[in-house]
Every structure is written in C-alpha cells, then in structure tokens.
Amino acid sequence: MGKKLGDSEDPLLVSVRSGAADSMPGMMDTILNLGLNDESVQGLINKTQNPRFVRDSYRRFLQMFGDVVLEVPHHDFEHALQSVKDAKGVKLDTELDVADLQKVVSLYKEAIQKATGKEFPSDPRQQLQMSIDAVFGSWNNDRAIIYRRINDIK
C-alpha cells in the first residue's frame, strides 16, 4: 500500500483487535484508527479532502485510546464533548464543525493529561505497543471472564 505508520503525508492507520481462539464478540477491547496524531491528521486531511471526517476520527481515537489504554474515565470525554455542544447550542455530534472538533480534540488531550499526568503519546509505535498490551490485558476484564464462564471457554 505504500503507507507508513505515523507518516505525515500518507499515514497508515491500524486497528488493534483481539484474536482469541474462540470467538468472544465484544468482550475484549479494540482500538481503531491507531496511528493518528497531529501530523498524520494533516496528511489524512490532504489525502481525503475531508477535514471534518478526519477530525472526528481523531477525536474518536483519542477517546477510545484514553478510555481503553490509559483508563481515563469515559465520563471525562463525554463531559468535554458535551461542553463543546452546549457552547455551540447543538444536540448532536454531527452538528459540530471542524473548528468544534478541533476544540474537542484539545479538551480530550487535556482530560488525558489531567487523569494520567502525562501527555497523549503522539508516537504511533508507542501507541501500538500500549494498545497491544491493553487488548491482551482485556482478556481479564469482567465481561470477558463472565463470557468465558457462561460459554465454558477455557
């Protein structure tokens, strides 16, 4: 494909998903759009000519990574998103424009910094390693454990 993880001109985005021997749909965590950062976002905007789509993908990645990998409380992201919608006077995420989504991204990064004491990792290889660890770790989350017990999966 010629794409490279983290490339600022033609970024490769990947998903980190479980691959258990027995199917356990929805039980283990997933990370989508891994590889997005401020530089690759601009490259993707240039490729797609769709800045709203790219900014929305970035905010969704930040939320998923923050929630699953960094264990930032989900409500921190919901509060940030709601504050932007309230300021604009809209009800739906789809009513937010590119500038609004850029504000959401900034607020999400602030939420990550506040909850973890660290900045969001912009290095895609670091994102990848952290995501692999989190997805493997989700084998032991409550829903996966209960699912295996109910379905007699060892």
For the stretch 69-83, pLDDT in tens is 999 999 999 999 999
Per residue, the 3-state secondary structure of 14-71, as one string, reads EEECCCCCCCCCCCCCCEEEECCCHHHHHHHHHHHCCHHHHHHHHHHHHHHHHHHCCC
Domain CATH code at residue 37: 1.20.80.30
Query: What is the domain range of residue 99?
Result: 4-150
How many domains, the chain?
A: 1
Q: Is the pLDDT of residue 147 over 90?
A: no
The pTM of the full predicted model, rounded to 2 decimals, is: 0.89
